[in-house]
Amino acid sequence: MLTATVLGVGAVHAVQAADVADLGKSLTPWGATVAGNAAGTIPAYTGGLPASTRPAGFEADSGFWANPYADDKPLYVITGKNVDQYAEQLSEGTKALLKRFPDTYKVTVYPSRRSANYPDWVNQNSIANATRCKTTNDGVSVEGCFGGIPFPLPKNGNEVVWNAQLHYKGESLLTSGQGWYVDAKGSKVLTAGVQNRGESQYYNKALDPATFAANGLYLTQLNIYNAPARNVGEGNLQKYYVDPVKNPNASWSYSPGQRRVRRSPDAEYDFPVATSGGAMLYDEIYMFSGKQDRYDFKYLGTKEMIIPYNNYDWMKSTPDQLLAPNHPNPDVMRWELHRVHVVEATLKPGMRHVQPKRRLYYDEDILAAGMSDAWDSSGKLAKAIYTPSYQLYDHQVPHASSFWMYDFATGVYYHSSIVGAAKGLRVSEKLQPDSFFTPESLARQSQR
């Protein structure tokens, strides 16, 4: 059951002083409800995993994080046989997967652990953003936001999506992983081995709101590919802005065969991502990515849902351990009951997209984590996407930057950023110079 009043699309963000006063008290600084639920199945928030967390097996700077909840036992297991008993807490995609694969797919539900923990300076900025941050250009842009969750008290769907797009994942993150495509017969294809450097000027502590607003570049990503053989030496660069109307998001690619960098104008919306084998669309990355101008985003409130959560074992899994026929191996996936923000995206009149309807479920604590469903033009369920999460506890970073997708029409699934196949993740507070994220730099690094 949804617990907030449905707000009209484009509702004006108008935060009441009384609501702001609740942040850091009955609400977390990022706006989640501190109290647990009435049934006791979702606990109260008590601060998350502290930075001093050191479970058995933890190795600093190894690229991987030991599971602090390794001793937890499953509460129950959902399969195709008992799915109807839990239907209210499952997404349409999850229910469809359970019914399509009743003998092999399952959802193993563990005790809910609210592990998210943000640095104090991020929390302070999240509270400040409640009164200084606003959407413009019909929700497509934001202004006045900096250094924290932009809308801890969201009033419409665009604000919830911006919370995910501007979520905190550290100032600088180096990810080494692989992307895999698995067809309906179970054949596995390595589509990408990649080293990704992602940095956020939005969370650059050396800046202030006014300095950041000067150009509004909130995220830069540089990818260098090392597999498969045909893609070795390729690379791409992406830049995302808080006002993509004034400063359009931009992408470049480098081809070693042509030895040149080119703009990639098609790298958005429903254009297929080549490094996913064409399985993913650009705006499906992380459930929704890019410019918000093609959909009306309606905020449907919060709801208790079973989502992938605290997936430390999944994070360390190799492709052989993770990639089963038909769907990812459910034995390495942990699910928990959490409150999520529900957003329904409906294609605007006159706009085109192969998915005219989508539903997004974002966790209330780790605001980019969760799952999504999408429907095609005939109204059939088309895809389900899952973005599991885990806390990088020693860095106070709630991580949700890998995902997997199932296509109900083709039976194909795609899994991004399997870090267990490579060197994992590296978190740093040291940002690269601006010259690192340029087309010229992309060409140099691709040729190394």
- Residue-wise pLDDT for 351-400, tens only, equals 999 999 999 999 999 999 999 999 999 999 999 999 999 999 999 999 99
**In the structure encoding, which two tokens stand for residue 267, read together?**
């790298």
Q: Is the pLDDT of residue 288 over 60?
A: yes
Rounded distance between C-alpha atoms, residue 178 and residue 193, angstroms: 4
- In the predicted model, what is the mean pLDDT of residues 141-158? 98
pLDDT of the residue at 1: 57
Provide mean pLDDT across the span 85-110: 99
| Strand ranges in 214-363 using DSSP code E only, listed in sequence order | 217-227, 235-241, 250-255, 260-263, 295-308, 335-347, 357-363
Does residue 164 belong to any structural domain of this protein? Answer: yes
246 assigned to some structural domain: yes
Let me know if residue 88 belongs to a domain: yes
Residue 363 belongs to a domain with what CATH number? 2.50.20.10
**For position 8, what pLDDT does the model report?**
34
- 161 within a domain of the structure (yes/no): yes
Residue 11 belongs to some domain of the structure? no
User: Burial letters for 107-128: b for 16+ Cβ neighbours within 10 Å, e otherwise?
Assistant: bbbbebbbbbbbbeebbebbbb
Instruction: Please tell me the number of Cα atoms within 13 Å of 423 on its side-chain side.
Output: 11
The stretch 404-427 carries a mean pLDDT of: 96
Mean pLDDT of the 68-84 span: 99
Q: Band of the pLDDT at 7, cuts 50, 70, 90?
A: very low
Residue 15: pLDDT band by 50, 70, 90 thresholds? low
In a domain, 2, yes or no: no
CA atoms within 13 A on the CB side of 169: 28
Q: What is the pLDDT of residue 44?
A: 99
Six-digit token string for 170: 């550290």
Distance (Å, rounded) from C-alpha 339 to C-alpha 326?
29
For residue 348, give every residue at least 6 positions away whose Cβ sits within 8 Å of its Cβ, in sequence order, or none.
293, 294, 295, 296
How high is the pLDDT of residue 273?
Answer: 96
Q: Look at residue 128 in the predicted model and tell me its pLDDT.
A: 98
For residue 200, the SS3 value is coil
**Long-range CB contact pairs, 267-276, < 8 A, 24+:** 267/236, 267/238, 269/294, 269/353, 270/352, 270/353, 270/354, 270/355, 275/179, 275/191, 275/192, 275/194, 275/225, 275/231, 276/179, 276/181, 276/191, 276/192, 276/414, 276/416
Averaged pLDDT of the chain: 95
| Number of domains within the chain | 1
Please report whether residue 56 resides in a domain: no
Model confidence at 11: pLDDT above 90: no
Whole-model pTM: value is: 0.95
C-beta neighbour count of 158 within 10 angstroms: 29
Q: Distance between CA atoms of 440 and 11, rounded to whole angstroms?
A: 42
Which residue segment(s) compose the domain that 153 sits in?
17-49+63-446
Q: What is the mean pLDDT of residues 423-431?
A: 92
Name the CA dihedral angle for 410, 319, 253, 264, rounded to a multiple of 10 degrees: 30
* 8 in a structural domain: no
